[in-house]
Amino acid sequence: MTPMQTTRRRLAAPFLLVALCLLSACMRAPVQPARPYSPLILISIDGYRADYLKRGLSPTLADLAKTGVRATAMKPSFPTLTFPNHYAIVTGLYPDHNGIVNNRFLDPATGEKFVYTDRQTTDDPHWWGGEPVWVGVERQGKHAATMFWPGSDVAIDGVRPEHWLPYNGKMSPDARVDQALQWLDLPPGQRPDFLTLYFEQVDHAGHGYGPDSTQVDAALREVDAALGRLVAGLKQRGIQDHANIVIVSDHGMTATSESRMVVLDKLVDMRDLTVINAGVVAGLAPKPGHEEQVARALLVPHEHMRCWDKAKIPERLHYGSNPRIPPIVCVANDGWLIETQSYLDRPNHHISLGEHGYDNNDPAMRALFVAHGPAFKRGYVIPEFDNVDVYPLLTHILDIKPAPNDGSIGPVAAALR
């Protein structure tokens, strides 16, 4: 044996040992297959009243409920309006605490207005309190994509979802689904862990033609077809058994009419107050020195509405501590509206055939909750729960730390696998 050969053999022995060790280690701990892509998709069907599901016009939704979880209803937050409730769902905070106290409101400190349809006003992050899910997702190193959701086009606390589009009501439900599916196709590291989708067609039809109209039925079919397109897209990508889908609405809908009108002028001297909001919920500010006259006129029982001093709103409504809430809040009884004579005298005034915003105990305001996917039981029904409880459910599934909130996972925990 040459000296060279002995050196090689001496070197080879330890290498052999290391290689054997590695091999046995591999055998002890088999290589884990890559975890399947398991995004969480939160979908809102604006104005989808809980009982619409029984109309038989939402087959995809009914199928997801049958093979997943359904709540008998979800209780919206008060007031049962779009922006306060969408933001309550994604922050777990009641409107009183999340800052979006109405669709339109005033900051009494600055006189600034928030008008939900005017991006120039909604774009200012200072309105939006708490931490919406997509901000937590981005902050904690995951990825979010929003195919519309109130607040998702604002840089809340300086953070926007990684993928988002400014709200565009003209974009069809199918086009929204296609955009969401495109985001699912992004490479790992960019593709979203959390997605939202938003559809307003059912709400629009409810306002325009009333909850019992054929137009609402058509909108139910249209949105369900888009959900079908989403489910088919998930199947195509082989992730239908891995994606978790949570489908909610913000509130229900009830029939309204020009013949069910509380006219404020008939109750109070309009020179004594400023009307901040009217409609289903009226927000009123007595003029300085006129507080007593206004209280005598309004803070008494009425046939078709209730009014409260903001400090005395029943606790169950979780409403009244935010400075953005006007001093007096009135809410109409189901199907009634509160207006001023000057509004009704306008030739172009508009009274919808359907409305929401009422007391969140009103059965007509009940919202939708359906959930499906590996996180959820199959064929399980849970009783009604508060919509602020959705936030802790979402953060639990996403495995992110929730921000302080008013919700609790307790009422929905039984639905989890």
Q: Which residues are catalytic?
A: 82
Q: Give me the least distance between CB of 311 and ligand AMP, in Å please.
A: 26
CB of 151 to Zn ion, least distance (A): 14
Nearer to ligand AMP, 87 or 336 (CB): 87
Nearer to Zn ion by C-beta: 167 or 183? 167
Q: How far is the CB of 116 from ligand AMP (least distance, A)?
A: 6
Burial category of 29 from C-beta neighbours within 10 Å (exposed 0-12, middle 13-18, buried 19 and up): exposed
Print burial letters for 290-322: b (CB count within 10 Å at least 16), e (below 16): ebebbbebbeeebeebbbbebeebeeebbbbeb
Q: Is 204 in the site for ligand AMP (CB under 6 A)?
A: yes
Q: Point out which residues bind Zn ion (CB under 5 A).
A: 46-47, 82, 203, 250
8 Å CB contact between 166 and 198: no
Please select the residue that binds ligand AMP; options are 94, 148, 194, 385, rule is CB under 6 A. Answer: 148
CB of 352 to Zn ion, least distance (A): 8
Task: Give the residue with the Cβ less far from ligand AMP, 162 or 203.
Answer: 203
Q: Verify binding: residue 132, ligand AMP, rule CB under 6 A.
A: no
Q: Are 230 and 181 in contact (CB under 8 A)?
A: yes
Q: Which stretch binds ligand AMP (CB under 6 A): 49-57, 197-205, 212-220, 402-410?
A: 197-205
**Residue 116 interface partner, choices Zn ion, ligand AMP, none, CB cut-off 5-8 Å depending on type:** ligand AMP
Query: How deeply is 238 buried, as exposed, middle or buried, from its count of CB atoms within 10 A (0-12, 13-18, 19+)?
Result: exposed
Give the helix, strand, coil percentages of the chain, each rounded to 5: 35, 20, 45
How many residues appear in the chain?
417
Closest to Zn ion by CB, 44 or 244: 44
- Using CB under 6 A as the binding criterion, the count of chain residues that bind ligand AMP stands at 13
d(CA 309, CA 350): 28
Counting Cβ atoms within 10 Å, is residue 65 exposed (0-12), middle (13-18) or buried (19+)? Answer: buried
**Binding of residue 167 to ligand AMP (CB under 6 A):** yes
d(CA 46, CA 129) in angstroms, rounded, equals 22
| Contact pattern for ligand AMP over residues 51 through 70, marking x by CB under 6 A | --------------------
Residue 85 binds to ligand AMP (criterion: CB under 6 A)? no
List b or e across 137-156, with b for residues whose CB sees 16 or more CB atoms inside 10 angstroms: bbeeebbbbbbbbbbbbbeb
Provide the minimum distance between the beta carbon of 81 and ligand AMP in the complex, in angstroms, as a whole number: 5
> Between residues 70 and 352, which has the closer beta carbon with respect to ligand AMP?
352
**Interface contacts to ligand AMP, rule CB under 6 A:** 46, 81-82, 103, 116-117, 148, 150, 167, 169, 200, 203-204
